[in-house]
Amino acid sequence: MRKQYTIVIAEEQTLMREGLRSLLTADNRYCVIGEAGDGLQAVRYANRLKPDLVLINLQMPKMNGPSVIREIKRNSAKPKIIALTLRTSDEHILSAFMAGADGYCLKNDTRVELLTAVRRVLEGKKYFSAEIADKILNGYLGERKTQSDPMTWDNLTSREVQVLKLVAEGHTSPEIGSLLAISPKTVDKHRANIMRKLDLHTAAALTAYAIGKGLVSPGS
């Protein structure tokens, strides 16, 4: 018998919540065990119900999406989280992943793409909707056009590769420090060295580079 995954939907609009619930529960692998209408409720439900996945709108009342994601990830259960939004700016994408999101989908994505995101995130992979993946990669390529020297992947130390992967996955410096048993200040030093060696100057460019090297999956 296949495992049934539990899901909490955090979405302000009732009709949107109902639509997401119908879409997800049409597949018997998924069971929606809670529906939150604001950020504070989403945190309470996630902590109490301990779902496998939280699907969250980034524009929530009472507590914004990145803050909700950060609070939920602090819980020992640490469910997977997919951000669902209409926002496509670098700022919104990066704030979601820096907070700890495992996936980023747009509300105008297809039903098939959303279900693919759910499946892949529950498998332990990162997921960017196709439009977001294109945006990240295009931004990275645009930055590369202004640079004449080739990227020096071989110049990165093994520790810097570890840090690069964790940065691209959206971990904060304190989280990376905890995972690697080093101080946040040392993490920041590694990050600065990575940017200098690769001549990349934004988190979006680092994420795209990590995708290109196979360290992080774009999910598309």
Kindly state whether residues 124 and 139 are assigned to the same domain. Answer: no
170: domain CATH number is 1.10.10.10
H helix or E strand, kind and range, residue 148: none
> Given 77, 102, 128, which residue is the final one in a domain?
128
Are residues 98 and 42 part of one domain? yes
- 25 and 101 together in one domain: yes
For range 17-22, the mean pLDDT: 94
**Are 13 and 73 in a shared domain?**
yes
Residues 110, 152: one domain? Answer: no
**Confidence grade of residue 58 (pLDDT, cut at 50, 70, 90):** confident
Non-local CB neighbours of 122 within 8 Å, separated by 6+ positions: 5, 52, 53, 80
Q: Place 86 in a pLDDT band, splitting at 50, 70 and 90.
A: confident
Say if residue 114 is in the same domain as residue 184. no
Is 176 found in the same domain as 67?
A: no
Does 176 share its domain with 84?
A: no
Boundary-marking domain end, from 128, 143, 170: 128
- Give the CA distances from residue 202 to residues 20, 97, 109, 177, 205, in Å, rounded to whole numbers and listed in that order: 34, 14, 26, 20, 5
* Domain at 109, CATH number: 3.40.50.2300
Asked, for residue 192, whether it belongs to a domain, the answer is yes
Same domain, 94 and 9: yes
Q: 207 is in which domain, residue-wise?
A: 135-212
* CB atoms near residue 202 (< 10 Å): 14
Tokens of 192: 């600065």
Boundary-marking domain end, from 128, 156, 173: 128
Same structural domain for residues 114 and 44?
yes
Q: Is residue 217 part of a domain?
A: no
- The region of weakest confidence among 40-54, 73-87, 180-194 is 73-87
The tokens describing 216, both together, are 């992080």
Mean of the per-residue pLDDT values for the chain? 82
Q: Are residues 124 and 42 in the same domain?
A: yes
Q: Do both 147 and 193 map to the same domain?
A: yes
Distance CA 161, CA 183 (A): 17
218 in a structural domain: no
Q: What is the pLDDT of residues 114-166, one digit of tens each?
A: 999 999 899 888 888 877 766 665 554 455 444 444 456 778 899 999 999 88
Domain count along the chain: 2
